[in-house]
Amino acid sequence: MMLRDVPEWTLAEQIRARPTEPVALARPLEVSQLPTPALVVDRAAFESNLGRMAQHAASFGKGLRPHAKTHKCPIVARRQLEMGAVGICVAKVSEAVALASAGIAPLLITSPVTAPGKVAVLERLADEFQGIGVVVDSEEGMGLLERMGPANRLAVLVDLDVAMGRTGTRDDDLARRLVERIQAVDHLDFMGFQHYAGHVMHIQGHAARSEASLVLWERVLERLGRIGVSYDVLTGCGTGTFDIDCAVQQITDMQVGSYVFMDEEYRQIGGRHSERFADFEVSLTVACTALSQPAAGAVTVDGGYKSIASDTVPPAVDELPNTQYRFAGDEHGVLVSRAALQSVRLGDVVRVVSPHCDPTVNLHDVFWVLEADGVIRTCWPITARGCTW
Ligand SMILES: Cc1ncc(COP(=O)(O)O)c(C=O)c1O
């Protein structure tokens, strides 16, 4: 099959044509002038989060391999690399296409690839770019990687599962066989192991989260002892365990994602010393315009499920005390409170904190970058928006 006949390649060519650089606005804007609903990144909070995580990782001797599934933006990935990241994670092959084409490297695809069309695109990426990596957790996936023949070597990690039940193998013999097969192929480089425990990230309370995460890492280390191969990289960890997993000496790098923006779901899990998880600032908000007031005590804004994603809690309205946001369908939300009634007029713009930053970002084309002087001069394209394959 020719690459041009692979449907994934048709999509990849479109992704490669997308903008990747900051866009300077014709004239500076205030938040109140944005075409809402609009994603706003507060640059000072964003930079502070990047610096705090970089400093934290360095102080524990860990590398940072931040996950770009959160921001999907080469400009953010470039900034993370400038601040010392050892590489960037992406969730899927299509995100790798978007970031590799913008010059981001090294890249690690953290989901296994088992479809021939996606492997064909992966092979093409590894032909063109150095520093592409992927995880594997099955004989089937391994067979596809073996049959590739890219110009540059592909880094491969074995994905281990302990308790999450999403990706990764629980079978030590299979893990060892996969390592042996990787080591036997010229175009593949065995890099190490991945273990990501997503189900632990939002456990309420630092002590409970800490216990759950460290028990799992202990089991990973026991398994690595049984598998019995040497490795360079042991990667995993998310924002919810950033100050927990750093105590595990064998972990080489942390795949944290959400810390760049933060969201309401993360704020609610609690921090080491506080009821709210406040180690990182909220740098991402969704600006919405008040557009109707059908009932007393409520104001309808123009952001709903199509611009704010949630799996659990509603958006938070930090700007207006004692105000709740309620989803009111695809296009709308309703702010409910006395404050909303008294202070919000139709046409006003209110910023809300997204419940879950990653899928919220995936609903937008650009970040509007709010500078410390309160003005927006650039927007950053979310190049990998919609890249979910
Ligand atoms: C494999 C993997 N690594 C890292 C992360 C980053 O996690 P967080 O956004 O909680 O920091 C995720 C998020 O889902 C993930 O799936």
248 and 374 belong to one structural domain: no
293 and 203 belong to one structural domain: no
217 and 365 belong to one structural domain: no
255 and 293 belong to one structural domain: no
107 and 201 belong to one structural domain: yes
Mean pLDDT of the chain: 97
pLDDT tens per residue, range 211-260? 999 999 999 999 999 999 999 999 999 999 999 999 999 999 999 999 99
Pairing of strands 324-327, 188-195: unpaired
Whether 191 is covered by a domain: the verdict is yes
Query: Binning pLDDT at 50, 70 and 90, where does residue 265 land?
Result: very high
What value does the mean pLDDT take over residues 21-35? 98
Cα separation, 334 vs 293, in Å, equals 9
Whether 7 is covered by a domain: the verdict is no
SS3 170: coil
Whether 270 is covered by a domain: the verdict is no
Helix ranges (H only) for the chain are: 7-16, 43-59, 74-82, 93-101, 116-128, 139-147, 172-183, 206-227, 264-267, 338-343, 357-361
Whether 13 is covered by a domain: the verdict is no
Report which ligand 1 atom has the smallest distance to the Cα of 239.
Answer: 11
What value does the mean pLDDT take over residues 154-175? 98
Whether 328 is covered by a domain: the verdict is yes
What value does the mean pLDDT take over residues 172-197? 98
Q: Note the pLDDT of residue 1.
A: 65
Report which ligand 1 atom has the smallest distance to the Cα of 70.
Answer: 9
Pick the range with the lowest mean pLDDT from 1-5, 190-194, 238-242, 254-258: 1-5
295 and 213 belong to one structural domain: no
Whether 335 is covered by a domain: the verdict is yes
What value does the mean pLDDT take over residues 170-174? 98
CB-based pocket (< 6 A), ligand 1: 67, 69-70, 89, 110, 196, 198, 201, 238-240, 255-258
Domain that holds residue 127: 43-262
289 and 323 belong to one structural domain: yes
Query: Binning pLDDT at 50, 70 and 90, where does residue 274 land?
Result: very high
Query: Cα of 256 to ligand 1 centre, how many Å?
Result: 6
Q: Note the pLDDT of residue 202.
A: 97
Answer yes or no: is pLDDT of 4 > 90: no
pLDDT tens per residue, range 284-295? 999 999 999 988
CA-proximal residue: ligand 1, atom 3 (nearest): 255
Instruction: Select from 228, 262, 296 the last residue of a domain.
Output: 262
Write the CATH number for 56.
3.20.20.10
What value does the mean pLDDT take over residues 380-388? 98
CA-proximal residue: ligand 1, atom 14 (nearest): 198
Q: Note the pLDDT of residue 249.
A: 98
pLDDT tens per residue, range 101-134? 999 999 999 999 999 999 999 999 999 999 999 9
72 and 156 belong to one structural domain: yes
Write the CATH number for 371.
2.40.37.20
22 and 167 belong to one structural domain: no
Whether 8 is covered by a domain: the verdict is no
Query: Cα of 240 to ligand 1 centre, how many Å?
Result: 9
Amino acid occupying residue 350: V
239 and 317 belong to one structural domain: no
If you ran DSSP here, which 8-state letter would residue 5 be given?
Answer: G
CA-proximal residue: ligand 1, atom 16 (nearest): 198
213 and 354 belong to one structural domain: no
Query: Cα of 198 to ligand 1 centre, how many Å?
Result: 7
Quote the number of domains for the chain. 2
Cα separation, 379 vs 227, in Å, equals 48
213 and 322 belong to one structural domain: no
Instruction: Select from 208, 234, 262 the last residue of a domain.
Output: 262
Query: Binning pLDDT at 50, 70 and 90, where does residue 299 land?
Result: very high
Q: Note the pLDDT of residue 92.
A: 98
Query: Cα of 266 to ligand 1 centre, how many Å?
Result: 12
Radius of gyration over every alpha carbon of the chain, rounded to an integer in angstroms:
22
Cα separation, 43 vs 27, in Å, equals 18
DSSP string, 215-279: HHHHHHHHHHHHH----SEEEE--GGGTTTGGG-TT--EE---GGGT--HHHHTT--SSSSS--S
Whether 289 is covered by a domain: the verdict is yes
pLDDT tens per residue, range 321-379? 899 999 999 999 999 997 767 789 999 999 999 999 999 999 999 999 999 999 999 99
Q: Note the pLDDT of residue 164.
A: 96
Query: Cα of 255 to ligand 1 centre, how many Å?
Result: 6
Instruction: Select from 237, 262, 287 the last residue of a domain.
Output: 262
Q: Note the pLDDT of residue 301.
A: 98
**pTM value surpassing 0.85:** yes
**Residue 196 is encoded by which pair of tokens?**
């990501």
pLDDT tens per residue, range 36-72? 999 999 999 999 999 999 999 999 999 999 999 999 9
